[in-house]
Structure 1
Amino acid sequence: MKTRNGDDIMGKIHLEGADNARDLGGLKTTEGAVIREKKLIRSNRLSKLTQNDMNLLSNEYHLHKILDLRTPMEVEQEADLEIPEASYMNIPFFMESMVGVSREKETKKQMLHMQEFPDMKDIYIMMIQNKFCNQQITKAVREVMTTENGSVLWHCTEGKDRCGLLSAIILFLLDVSEEDVMEDYLKTNKAAIRRVEKIRKKLHVAGFHQEKIEKLEGYFVAKEEFLNAALKTMKEDHGSINQFIKNGLHISMKEKQQFKDKILE
């Protein structure tokens, strides 16, 4: 997939209050079909949307459903703005206690003083192997699959990890190739490049060693090794990504085909 022009990212939805929102429409499957536009939207937090943003999502994308994958504490501290005609569901992929660190404002400050914090690869593996995580992912996938009359949007805080994993699973359900799934996952870095540069400079000025800066960066940038850790776990534990979807998430091949029939053209 190539950018349309300059720094523009294919499928990017230009929102003033969410810099990592994009439409998965236009992506091709391994069978040559194309995902319909204005059906599947991935994003980062929706707490800073402007009135123009909400009008765009309502009027142009006919937003019908919002799936918030953040923890209850994250939601409490920075709630989504309500968008007319769009239902809202909080489906946290994990709880704070499961990882030790999430992106609450207090914890962000604490991260800078921690000697040890979770490795992002371990968090991706946990989301594949943990029973609670699997149940929540299944719930979110089914909500995406059963959306009618408009679009469904899912998001976490940065639009990278929880959002990225759900996006990957949705694309695999539609039979998009691993290469194109990874390419979509890494587009987050183009959207967030200015934000990440600011974080790097702050950490450098604060006197952090390069090794720790690189590890902390993992909380704000998408890396192939993170998603690959999840894909490898799916394959090792279930035999294939399709088998993970079938046996790990309990999505039948009949349900998968029905979803494809609805979303692909």
Structure 2
Amino acid sequence: MWLELEGAVNARDVGGIPTNDGAKIAPGRLLRSDNLQDLSPADVALLVNNMALDTVVDLRSPLEVAAEGPTPLTRLDHITHVNHSLLPEIGKDVTAEALLVRRRREEERYPDDPACAHYLGYVENRPDSIVAALRAIARASGTALVHCAAGKDRTGVVVAFALTVAGARREEIIRDYAATNERLPLILERLRSTPTYSGDIDSVPEDRHRPRAETMEAFLEQVDRRYGGVEGVLGRHGFGDDELEALYRKLRD
């Protein structure tokens, strides 16, 4: 369900997604979005009063957070904010050659699809952040919201993991990921309006930003083959059976 906000263009509730056992993901448990910096007072009221939001999981890097500044939600003491970047930490003295080597290694992970290769990098480089993000969702007493800059790549991966644990049908997880296409022109326009992202947006053709269903399908298949599935990734990095159950119940009960 799309959330029509004045200050975000890719916000939606994943509630209602069909599950493997014929049920559905519960509404009002997990929201996904693009950047929250521009939320209006009406947006904040909708999220807090109507949606019972109490936890925000920010997947952006510390540099992005510093550049964009705080969101209006940080002024509310009862909202828990956690920041778990999915990008590898880059030191100030990193060389151009080192960055090129890193980029080549990323491409080698899955040459057929650069976006899938990038997502596999999240799993390999920052499984700690994926685990921490899912832990925050499971522990939220009210509604949790996960976001990054565009709400499609980093957010797409964490939400896909959460929905998998909750037993959502894989084809529906892929469909939810690709739904961002409906808002892509608005997302790119919004990102172009800020110096933080404008250069990156126009450095590649617009079609490269498009979330393709085939990308998420390939990514989840590779997670199964390489790491023993979503639960295999999480289990190896400290997300125990009790936490899997808590996340399942959070999104289903």
C-alpha spacing 1:257/1:70, structure 2 compared with 1 (3 Å):
same
- What residue number does 2:151 align with? 159
Question: Which structure 2 residue ranges, 5 or more long, are not aligned?
Answer: 92-105, 108-113, 192-202
Query: Could you say what secondary structure the match of 1:192 adopts?
Result: helix
- Between 1:220-229 and 1:153-162, the stretch displaced more is 220-229
State how 1:14-93 maps to structure 2 within 5 Å.
14-83=4-73, 84=76, 85-93=78-86
The aligned amino acid for 1:40 is L
User: What residue identity is the alignment partner of 2:149?
Assistant: T
Instruction: State percent identity of aligned pairs.
Output: 28
CA RMSD of aligned residues (A): 2.5
Count of paired positions: 219
Q: TM-score, normalised on structure 1? A: 0.74
Higher helix share: 2
Which residue is 2:247 aligned to? 259
Evaluate the alpha carbon distance shift between residue 162 and residue 51 of structure 1 in structure 2; reply closer, same or farther with a 3 A threshold: same
The Cα of 1:213 is off from its aligned counterpart by 5.0
Give the Cα separation in 2 of the matches to 1:235 and 1:229: 10
Give how far 1:32 is off. 1.9
Match of 2:216 in 1: 227
Aligned counterparts of 1:180 and 1:166: Cα–Cα separation in 2: 15
The Cα shift of 1:197 comes to 8.4
Q: Distance in 2 between matches of 1:139 and 1:157?
A: 19
The runs of 5 or more residues in structure 1 that have no matched partner are: 1-10, 99-116, 200-211
Aligned partners of 1:217, 1:74: CA distance in 2, in Å?
23
What is the CA distance between 1:166 and its match in structure 2? 0.3
Question: Is 1:127 aligned with 2:122?
Answer: yes
Structure 2 Cα separation of the partners of residues 34 and 225 of structure 1? 23
Taking a change above 3 Å as real, the CA distance of residues 194 and 153 of structure 1, as seen in their structure-2 partners, is closer
2:29–2:250 Cα contact (<8 Å) kept:
no
Scaled by the length of structure 2, what TM-score is found? 0.78
Which of 165, 178, 191 lines up with 1:186 in the alignment?
A: 178
